[in-house]
Amino acid sequence: MKKTFLAGLLLAGASAQAQSTPEVQALTRRLNELARNPDEPATEVRAQLSNCHFTEVIRKYRRDGSASGAFQVSHQKNGADWAVKSDDKVEFELRLGVEWSQVTALTYAPAHDEEKNRHYYEIKITRRPPGKNDSTTLEMPVYTTDEAVVRDLVQRLEKIRRSCSAKG
């Protein structure tokens, strides 16, 4: 039985065409490697880069074999999207997406997990819809303490963002 779950939040956009070049594929692979928290094997954070759209997917898998009522809700408006779902394998999945043409800042900042005493970085993607004064920031963890690696990832993302903005 499907349960409807409503949540309000996020995003908007334009649609330009970006190719899935070897550089984009390599960047996606590297982001996904570094987004894996070694202390949380049942949780997965992934980036998806396609058609000048960035999507962050956060999944928490069921480990105990329990099942619950499945639900799925999604929303798309003005080029941005979010979705939440649950099923027998995935306890919780959250998808957040944004068009690169609406991203106003790509930054990174150090972060700290107090419980595990682990230092890492977060890549921050700030979006402002056209004609709006408010903004939304997506944060993606990058589990490394090497700032040069994170700076390189942000520069590569910025290159993709600029190429998409030039097309839109």
Q: How far apart are CA 17 and CA 143, in angstroms?
A: 30
User: Which one, of 14, 141, 143, 7, lies nearest residue 74 by Cα?
Assistant: 7
SS3 34: helix
**Per-residue pLDDT tens digits of the chain, which is 168 residues long:** 232 222 222 222 323 334 568 999 999 999 999 999 988 888 899 999 988 999 999 888 877 666 666 777 777 776 677 777 777 777 787 888 999 999 999 999 999 988 888 999 999 999 988 777 888 899 999 999 999 999 999 999 999 999 987 765
Contact 121, 144 (CB under 8 A): yes
Nearest residue to 127 (alpha-carbon basis) of 161, 167, 150, 76: 161
DSSP letter assigned to residue 99: E
Please report where in the chains the tokens 């700076």 appear, as a residue: 151
